[in-house]
A and B are shown apart, each in its own frame.
Chain A
Amino acid sequence: MRPFVYARAEAPEEAFAGTEGGHPAFLAGGTTLLDLMKLDVMRPDRVVDINDLAQEYGAIRIDDRGLELGALVRMSEAAEHPDIVAGYPVIAQSLQLAASTQLRNMATLGGNVLQRTRCAYFRDTSWAACNKRVPGSGCAAMDGVNRKHAVLGTSNACIATYPGDFAQALIALDATVDVAGPAGRRALPFAELHRAPGDSPEVETALGPHDLITGFRVPALPWARRSLYLKVRDRESYDFALASAAVAVDVEDGLVREARIALGGVATKPWRARQAEAALKGRTLDENAAETAASAAFADAETRDGNAYKPELGRRTLVRALLQAATMRV
């Protein structure tokens, strides 16, 4: 860890003060930032503690129009909120199945969606080649250890997996993310927040260096209740997904009216599987339809030696999630 200036923002505008130039970082739960600073991967020269903004950005509101989640809501608060558990199960489950109790008690929702990849070539500075950490240095994962790396949204520059769970739930429910920055406030579809690596894997989101996520809005759409998050991993808890699926389905008279599918553990960013969604529309949600959707979801998968199993596992995960959603009583 290198020396840095620590500042505490007591009002939203203070969060942006003094952040011109340099490498600022916002500190909320700190569960990613502090790790990466200790590992010398992130070297902010100014750390702005935003925890005092919880008054403004720390609330959960639910009404007929939908769900509003402040960026400083702790993961555990949202995971255990009874109205979220009942009305937005995919959100509650994606949070319950993430990290550990201790981490969920610290980590915030805003920070959660921005957590960095677990790729060890990124997290350990002794590896010379990591385009995400040192642009232009190469990608050691391509021919290295890549069992957990992505098969969707990859590029020649980076195959690092987006590690989170909650983001898939937000995509499945057509959420919007609210952002504040020196230039004012704006909102964008959550699905547009993250970027695939392309030629510049160091740029992970549409946020500017001084932009702060202030909250998320989830519309009360008809498929929110018939939604779930399925996470497949090596161990039962406290583990990142090898493959996961956030699904939300609107079924009427036995036929799928609308479906939302987001995949985790298999892609470089929270991955919306549009072709899979389209493949379900108007069909009975049975094994056959689920298989068709799953095949479509992974049609463009590109694998390496260590992750060649992922399309198959991803397909099975999605089929299982869809069939489980079909049997949900809502």
Chain B
Amino acid sequence: MVMAKTDATAGIGSDVARIDGRLKVTGEARYGSDFAVPNPAYAVFKTSAIARGRIAAIDDGAARSVPGVLDILTYRDVGDEVGEAGFFASGGYAGTTIRPLASDRIWHDGQIVAVVLADSFEAAREAAHRLVVDYAAEPPAAGFDGPGVEEEDAKKDDPAKGDAERALREAAVMVEADYATPTQHHNPIELFTTTCAWTGDRLTIWEPSQNVYGIRNGVAKQLSLDPEQVRVVSPYVGGAFGSRGSLTQRTALIALAAKRLNRPVKLMATRDQGYTIATYRAETRHRVRLGADAQGRLQALSHEGWEVTSRPDSYKVAGTSATTRVYACSNIASEVTILHADRNTPGFMRSPPEVPYVFALESAMDELAVKLGMDPIELRRINDTDVEPVGGKPFTTRSLMKCFDAGAKAFGWSERDPTPGSMRDGDWLVGWGCATTLYPTHIAPATARVTLTPAGKAIVRTAAHDIGTGAYTAIALTAADRLGLPLDRIAVEIGDTNFPPAPVAGGSNTTASVCNVVAKACEQVRGQLASAVTAAGDGPFAGSDPNALILAEGELRGPGNASEAIGDAMARASSGAIEAYAENVPDGLQQKALGQLYQGLPALTGGAQMEDRAQFAFGAEFIEVRVNARTREIRCPRALGVFAAGQIVSRRTAESQLIGGLIWGMSSALHEVTEIDRGAARYYNDDLAEYLIPVNADIGKVEVMILPEDDEQVNALGIKGLGELGNVGTNAAIANAVYHATGVRIRSLPIRIEKLLGDRSA
């Protein structure tokens, strides 16, 4: 339970410290592997050293002789004991259809081939090293440009309109360019851990998760249990970024191991195993063609994308859903193709469709501006639109140009000399770039229970998730606001299937979904209290209209200055607590979506999927890079993001999300790449020493401005999720800044020194 300890008047939109911050920095917050279970056994995975083939032989003699080893599970032991959970994209729970230890077949590098169980972690690890697995290897396909990949036309609903080919032929100015983004891994600091304990036929799972109901129902399905027998606990999550949204293979395996040993089992997978037993951002390629008239008005936009997925699963992100809807254009074509290779199945990673696809679009827009001799902001302005161009549906709100204008002013954009290489500071070339950022505004069904205690405190319970985003704080602020209570009278309990369900923490929907239903539950609590006191024969509200009573500043207030402290009103009205359970099914979804939510299969709606409207949050990002004139190191001393995202609930954590997004964008543009040995189809740099992310010294000034925006259509509270808004435009803004600094256009991420060494003119 997290109790807020902040000021008395905080509510929706307040700037308060994260209410769980103290618990986190003092180590009191319990993460998945922190929960103590009695007499645990420890599990260590052995993973495959090839990407394709079969297990030929397993020699476990030396491993079993390590003192303390209890058992070693392989496909011979598990086989069909772990059933299918279904692929998430086909209405299931799992991030892959590959079942753990089901057969001798190897589908990808780093696949789990054995679970070593021992009395200590050290013994299990030593035994895993001593376990000898021989393979009958087959030549694998790593992905693009390699032999053996299978192409699948993923076309289903590729956005299109008009005649793009013809318009491209007739356009006064055209840009055609190919872009590429690499494999990237989430690397949450908290490793992929799972602890399982059985009490009779009831299973408890402690695991960092973005969807506790999904794990509960998915594991129940895999192990033929009633979901009611399974409890999943995940109150704090040490980073997730999409990697903990779908069920991984490990959970059922550890549950099974605990059952077999009749003893709790703890798993803490290693950092490198996290690269292959969970998901990652797929490698993508793009061809973007833009045609414009001489004034820069887009006449045609064509975006083709290619994405690499695993052999068995058709994972795709198809970010053309976003890139075809950014700018006014009459002729639009798009197509997405996926390539099946011998890789583990990719999955969601912060802004999954938008990050790679918007990098391509916003780089191409910059190229078009250069070709037109036009300021890139003015190019965005001339193509601004109030309706999304594919379906002609109006944007609920769109503050894109307001963001660009506020940002240009704050950044000093008018000082920019557009000539590449013209701005310099000593030995360093200076480049300024900008890009549009956007993210679809999602919402999902949600439920919550709010309890008002006789002492006038409130407890909010919902199986929502705070993956570091500030959900605890946003929920507490909403309840404080609606119950008229000081923030320190609100307790929030989340991340547990003992609470009513909330959706997956994905698609930036949590704040909108959960805060709206919490507000609803609070209103029910108010209604119950108001009904009780107005029905009572005495007291200041006797006979009043219950609908006229409000909760504010710790008081129940009614017509004619009637008021009473909430605690006093509670004492008269109720012998115990007042409790309300609320459900919210958002506009555009049917009631059955609630049943799906209880099954851990939340339906998200929003973005361009709405019948009557398009709902997106927009922003403008500005970047300054410095490139050493001689040795070409690329540094990013300044970033500014200006955003509008409807009603901000928790201002400080919202700003933190956006700052973190910009920093991630720098990381993605300049550093992050999972290197693949193309011959072996195996990951090479699978640790944090070699998979680079920025260190503090890489991050200079990062500024965020959030512009006011009222949007009454997106949901009752007017909330647009922004967790994934910050890192969408940054890749292109940096590439555009690098072009401005050097005159070299880099179309393949990450942008690293060697790509800028071609020019010896320095």
Contact = CB atoms under 8 A, between A and B. Distances in A.
A1 B690 contact: no
Interface string A1-17: 11100000000000000
Contacts of B671: 234-235
A235 B692 contact: yes
Contacts, number: 87
Contact of A309 (B694, B696, B757): B757
Interface stretch (A86-94, A200-208, A237-245): A237-245
Given A144-B679, A145-B685, A313-B753, A120 B690 contact: yes
Contacts of A143: 679
A159 to B, nearest CB: 14
A312 B759 CA distance: 11
Contact of A232 (B631, B680, B682, B689): B631
A281 interface: no
A147 B753 contact: no
Contact of B633 (A2, A145, A232): A232
Interface in B710-762: 752-754, 757
Nearest to A144: B677
B190 to A, nearest CB: 19
Contact of B631 (A118, A126, A238, A317): A317
B684 A145 contact: yes
Contact of B685 (A3, A120, A126, A243): A120
Contacts of B690: 118, 120
A228 interface: no
A147 B670 CA distance: 15
Given A145-B676, A234-B752, A313-B753, A2 B631 contact: no
Interface in A288-329: 309, 312-313, 316-317, 319-320
B125 A238 contact: no
Interface in A125-168: 125-128, 140, 143-145, 147
A124 interface: yes
A1 B692 contact: no
B46 to A, nearest CB: 9
B59 to A, nearest CB: 16
Interface in B36-65: 47, 49
Q: Which of B122, B632, B690 is packed against the most chain A CB atoms within 10 Å?
A: B690
| Interface residue range, chain A | 20 to 34
Contacts of A192: none
A236 interface: yes
Interface string A237-269: 111001100000000000000000000000000
A61 interface: no
Given A128-B49, A234-B753, A236-B635, A1 B689 contact: no
Interface in B108-165: 122, 125-126, 129
B505 to A, nearest CB: 29
Contact of B698 (A125, A140, A235): A235
Contacts of A233: 633
Interface residues of B, number: 37
B268 to A, nearest CB: 13
A202 B680 CA distance: 24
Contact of B692 (A3, A126, A239, A317): A239
A286 interface: no
Contact of B695 (A40, A126, A128, A237): A237
Given A124-B272, A147-B675, A235-B671, A242 B753 contact: yes
B695 A2 contact: no
Contacts of A232: 631, 633, 753
A145 to B, nearest CB: 4
A134 B136 CA distance: 21
Nearest to A3: B126
A239 B692 CA distance: 8
Contacts of B126: 1-3
Contacts of B678: 144
A233 B632 CA distance: 10
A97 to B, nearest CB: 11
Interface in B664-693: 670-671, 675-680, 682, 684-686, 689-690, 692
A143 B49 CA distance: 17
A280 to B, nearest CB: 18
Q: Which of A40, A124, A126, A312 is packed against the most chain B CB atoms within 10 Å?
A: A126
A233 B671 CA distance: 11
Contact of A118 (B122, B632, B635, B689): B689
A319 B630 contact: yes
Contacts of B670: 234-235
Contacts of A3: 126
Contacts of A239: 692, 695
A174 B275 CA distance: 44
Contacts of A144: 677-680, 684
Given A232-B753, A313-B754, 20 more contacts: A1-B125, A118-B689, A120-B686, A126-B47, A127-B682, A144-B680, A234-B670, A234-B752, A234-B753, A235-B694, A235-B698, A236-B694, A237-B695, A243-B631, A309-B753, A312-B757, A313-B631, A313-B753, A316-B757, A320-B630
7 contacts: A38-B125, A120-B685, A120-B686, A126-B49, A233-B633, A313-B632, A316-B631
Interface of A: 1-3, 38, 40, 118, 120, 124-128, 140, 143-145, 147, 232-239, 242-243, 309, 312-313, 316-317, 319-320
A-B complex: 8 closest residue pairs judged by Cβ atoms = A309-B754, A236-B697, A126-B49, A145-B684, A237-B697, A40-B129, A144-B677, A145-B675
